[in-house]
């Protein structure tokens, strides 16, 4: 059996990014095919409960959650040091939600805007015309489906199934993500807990751990650690042993997933091609969350793709503004944060305790700013305070020589990387030079 379809664009992946982009492109009147390999209701079910910052609903023009999709709303949270009980308030509201229902809602918006969603349909390969994408091939059970479209979008999540199958000549990075390039996120759903067990939103940035609301009176004890699932699991056990030894609880379920923890490909576009969301490694470096940071790119992509389709010009040059707009703003901030965090993760525990106590890392201000703006603006006052804390830490021996030097180097390198991304070239002809410099800054050459 086979079927042939034709549209203006085909999006591979009906998760949060694909469904959001499909919705926006449907609203603009384009014929959208959204291809999703799972059944309706399945996407997001391996995660269950997740979080979105309150301010993002207005930013991305999405109605607030209601009913079963809404688990809780928390106006504040707490950030905890590596050791001790001096938590700091994080005054930044989050919605706690059910992911499969949220995705179904977005898919519903997309379908009502005219997008056709093909569930249980798996991308199997690209159709090429004169070397550039002209659609996709997919399989639904025994049926072979051919979808022709002048624009193909990869929103297939961490494996980026379309990006990795592009011909080299299109100039995209096509290497698959490596096993060491993920944060391995483990969620333990606990209930039957004592009333004094932490409730609400609790962040343990040193351990990359969190305790967040679960179902009913329950909680989610979570962790996201790079490198390996086993490492994440061991660190979670150590963390629980240190913080909550012998705590009585009932394990309702344990689940895990992967979220990208590496820089995005240097370009998000090629002739007739765009990549967004986890497929383009757009997760927030400080938390691994990627739903709304993916929307940032989708919002830009929708504008650019709309203009390109109207012009009937889907060339790399025409799609290039997605790179410029994404990388000069959110992309630049994430690059700077990633460079900083890679070093912060190596700091000795005693150093982090000291820096936390002096508000140099993970202060209430930092966490609020980081969540809201993805960067921490340092006015002269704060810069002076930070410098004084670093110096007095070094002089008093509370901050190790290695920690001190690593921090200064990280701040310098992060600043340079962010600035480099802020100068992402308008002209694709300048891209090779820009890429060469970027590789040096990332230590890839
Ligand atoms: C345990 C865990 C907890 C998380 N918690 C949060 C959180 O609280 N807040 C937050 O913002 N982010 C969170 N994240 C990250 C977030 O889930 C992702 O960043 C986000 O879902 C990325 O959306 P996406 O649409 O790009 O990819 P996905 O949601 O992965 O969607 C990709 C879709 O493509 C489909 N697909 C894949 N291959 C094919 C193929 N060959 N053919 C057809 N379809 C295909 C998949 O079935 C999937 O539905 C969490 C991640 C994990 C693992």
Return the number of other C-beta atoms located less than 10 Å from residue 142's C-beta.
7
Ligand 1 contact via 294 beta carbon (within 6 Å): yes
Find residue 129's DSSP bridge partners. Answer: 132
Q: Which of 211, 262, 278, 281 to mutate to test the pocket of ligand 1 (most atoms within 8 A of CB)?
A: 278
**CATH architecture for residues 179-260:** 2-Layer Sandwich (3.30)
Q: 364 pLDDT band (50/70/90 cuts)? A: confident
Residue (of 146, 106, 85, 112) closest to 26 by Cα position? 112
Residue (of 175, 152, 178, 153) closest to 164 by Cα position? 175
Ligand 1 contact via 11 beta carbon (within 6 Å): no
User: CA-CA distance, 226 to 257, in Å (whole number)?
Assistant: 12
Q: What is the DSSP string of 35-91?
A: E-SSPTT-TTTTT-EEEEETHHHHHTT-PPP-GGGEEEEES-EEE--SSSS--EEE-
Q: 407 pLDDT band (50/70/90 cuts)? A: confident
pLDDT for residue 17: 98
Q: 341 pLDDT band (50/70/90 cuts)? A: confident
Instruction: Determine the distance separating the centroid of ligand 1 and the alpha carbon of 397, expressed in angstroms.
Output: 44
Q: 2 pLDDT band (50/70/90 cuts)? A: very high
pLDDT for residue 384: 83
pLDDT for residue 410: 86
pLDDT at 348 over 80: yes
Ligand 1 contact via 43 beta carbon (within 6 Å): yes
pLDDT at 417 over 80: yes
Q: Of how many residues is the chain composed?
A: 445
Instruction: Determine the distance separating the centroid of ligand 1 and the alpha carbon of 63, expressed in angstroms.
Output: 20
Q: Which of 35, 37, 122, 279 to mutate to test the pocket of ligand 1 (most atoms within 8 A of CB)?
A: 37
pLDDT for residue 346: 82
Pairing of strands 151-154, 9-12: parallel
Nearest residue (by CA) to ligand 1, atom 33, is 13
Measured CA distances, 174 to 133, 152, 170, 270, 342 (Å): 14, 15, 10, 11, 24
Ligand 1 contact via 15 beta carbon (within 6 Å): yes
pLDDT for residue 7: 98
Q: 363 pLDDT band (50/70/90 cuts)? A: confident
Ligand 1 contact via 314 beta carbon (within 6 Å): no
User: CA-CA distance, 425 to 323, in Å (whole number)?
Assistant: 9
- Kindly tell me the sign of the dihedral angle through the C-alpha atoms of 431, 433, 437, 440: positive
Mean pLDDT throughout 125-138? 97
Backbone phi and psi for residue 105, each to the nearest 5 degrees, phi listed first: -65, -45
Nearest residue (by CA) to ligand 1, atom 49, is 15
Over the stretch 370-403, which tens digit does the pLDDT of each residue have? 899 998 877 778 878 888 999 999 999 999 999 9
Q: Which atom of ligand 1 is nearest to the CA of 185?
A: 1
Mean pLDDT throughout 271-293? 96
pLDDT for residue 293: 97
Instruction: Determine the distance separating the centroid of ligand 1 and the alpha carbon of 296, expressed in angstroms.
Output: 15
Q: Which of 19, 47, 229 to mutate to test the pocket of ligand 1 (most atoms within 8 A of CB)?
A: 47
pLDDT for residue 365: 85
More confident residue, 404 or 311: 311
pLDDT for residue 31: 98
Q: 143 pLDDT band (50/70/90 cuts)? A: very high
Q: Which atom of ligand 1 is nearest to the CA of 158?
A: 30
Over the stretch 187-241, which tens digit does the pLDDT of each residue have? 999 999 999 999 999 999 899 999 999 999 999 999 999 989 999 999 999 999 9
Q: Which atom of ligand 1 is nearest to the CA of 277?
A: 26
- Asked if 105 contacts 66 with a C-beta cutoff of 8 angstroms, the reply is no
CATH H-level, domain 2-74+95-175+265-319: superfamily: FAD/NAD(P)-binding domain (3.50.50.60)
Question: Where do the domains of the chain lie?
Answer: 2-74+95-175+265-319, 179-260, 333-441
Q: Which of 10, 11, 16, 118 to mutate to test the pocket of ligand 1 (most atoms within 8 A of CB)?
A: 16
pLDDT for residue 345: 78
Q: Which atom of ligand 1 is nearest to the CA of 16?
A: 25
Q: 367 pLDDT band (50/70/90 cuts)? A: confident
Query: In which element (H, E) is residue 357 found?
Result: helix 349-357
Ligand 1 contact via 50 beta carbon (within 6 Å): yes
Q: Which atom of ligand 1 is nearest to the CA of 183?
A: 53
């Amino acid at each position: 059996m086979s079927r042939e379809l034709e549209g203006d664009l085909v999006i591979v992946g009906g998760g949060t990014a694909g469904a959001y982009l499909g919705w926006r492109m449907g609203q603009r009147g384009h014929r959208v095919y959204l291809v999703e390999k799972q059944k309706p209701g399945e996407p997001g079910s391996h995660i269950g409960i997740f979080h979105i910052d309150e301010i993002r609903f207005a930013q991305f023009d999405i109605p607030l959650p209601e009913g079963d999709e809404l688990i809780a709303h928390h106006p504040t949270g707490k950030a905890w040091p590596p050791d001790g009980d001096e938590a700091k308030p994080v005054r930044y509201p989050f919605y706690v939600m059910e992911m499969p229902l949220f995705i179904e809602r977005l898919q519903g918006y997309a379908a009502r805007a005219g997008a056709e969603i093909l569930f249980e349909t798996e991308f199997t390969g690209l159709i090429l015309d004169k070397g550039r994408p002209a659609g996709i091939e997919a399989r639904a059970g025994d049926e072979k489906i051919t979808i022709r479209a002048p624009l193909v979008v990869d929103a297939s999540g961490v494996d980026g199934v379309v990006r990795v199958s592009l011909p080299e000549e299109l100039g995209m990075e096509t290497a698959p993500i490596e096993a060491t390039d993920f944060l391995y996120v483990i969620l333990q759903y606990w209930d039957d807990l004592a009333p004094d067990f932490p409730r609400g939103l609790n962040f343990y940035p040193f351990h990359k751990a969190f305790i967040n609301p679960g179902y009913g009176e329950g909680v989610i004890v979570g962790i996201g650690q790079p490198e390996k699932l086993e490492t994440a699991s061991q660190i979670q056990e150590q963390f629980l042993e240190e913080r909550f030894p012998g705590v009585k609880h009932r394990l309702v379920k344990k689940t895990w997933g992967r979220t990208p923890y590496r820089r995005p490909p240097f370009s998000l576009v090629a002739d007739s091609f765009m990549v967004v969301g986890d497929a383009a490694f757009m997760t927030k470096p400080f938390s691994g969350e990627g739903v709304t940071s993916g929307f940032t790119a989708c919002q830009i992509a929708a504008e650019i793709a709309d203009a390109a389709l109207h012009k009937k010009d889907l060339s790399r040059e025409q799609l290039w503004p997605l790179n410029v707009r994404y990388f000069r703003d959110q992309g630049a901030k994430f690059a700077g944060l990633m460079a900083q965090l890679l070093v912060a993760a190596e700091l000795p525990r005693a150093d982090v305790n000291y820096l936390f106590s002096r508000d140099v890392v993970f202060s209430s201000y930092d966490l609020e700013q980081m969540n809201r703006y993805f960067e921490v603006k340092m006015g002269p006052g704060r810069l002076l305070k930070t410098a004084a804390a670093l110096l007095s830490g070094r002089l008093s021996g509370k901050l190790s020589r290695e920690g001190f030097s690593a921090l200064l180097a990280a701040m310098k390198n992060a600043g340079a990387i962010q600035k480099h991304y802020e100068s992402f070239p308008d002209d694709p002809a300048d891209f090779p030079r820009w890429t060469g410099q970027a590789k040096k800054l990332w230590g890839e050459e």
